[in-house]
Structure 1
Amino acid sequence: MVNILIVEDESIVALDIQDKVERLGYGVLAVVSSGEKAIEEVKKSQPDLVLMDIVLKGEIDGIETAERIREHFNIPIIYLTAHSDNQTLNRAKITGPFGYLVKPFVDSELRSAIEEVLSKQGH
Structure 2
Amino acid sequence: MVRVLIIEDEIIIARFIEQQLLSSFPCTTRIAVSVKEAQAAMADMLPHLLLCDINLQDNQSGIALVTELREQYAFEVIFISSYQNRSIIEQASAINPANYILKPVDEAQLFAGVQLVMNRISQNTTMGERITHATTLFNTTERSILQLIRDQKTTKEIAQELFLSPYTIKNHRHNICRKLQLEEGNNALLKWVMQNHHLL
| TM-score strictly above 0.5 | yes
Percentage identity across paired residues of the two chains:
24
Counterpart for residue 86 of structure 1: 86
Larger relative CO (CA 8 A, sep 6+): 1 or 2?
1
Q: Distance in 2 between matches of 1:77 and 1:3?
A: 12
1:29 equivalent to 2:36? Answer no
The answer for unaligned runs of 5 or more in structure 1 is none
8 Å CA contact 2:3–2:45 kept in 1: the answer is no
Q: Which has the higher strand share?
A: 1
Secondary structure at the counterpart of residue 71 of structure 1: coil
Aligned AA for 1:119? Answer: N
TM-score (norm: length of structure 2): 0.57
8 Å CA contact 1:6–1:28 kept in 2: the answer is no
The answer for unaligned runs of 5 or more in structure 2 is 125-200
8 Å CA contact 1:14–1:31 kept in 2: the answer is yes
Spell out structure 1 runs of 4+ moving beyond 4 A: none
Q: Which has the higher helix share?
A: 2
Q: How many residues align?
A: 123
Q: Distance in 2 between matches of 1:51 and 1:39?
A: 14
Aligned AA for 1:31? Answer: I
Q: Distance in 1 between matches of 2:58 and 2:21?
A: 25
1:113 equivalent to 2:113? Answer yes
Once the two structures are TM-superposed, the CA of residue 66 in structure 1 deviates from its matched residue by 0.8
8 Å CA contact 2:5–2:29 kept in 1: the answer is yes
Q: Distance in 2 between matches of 1:86 and 1:120?
A: 26
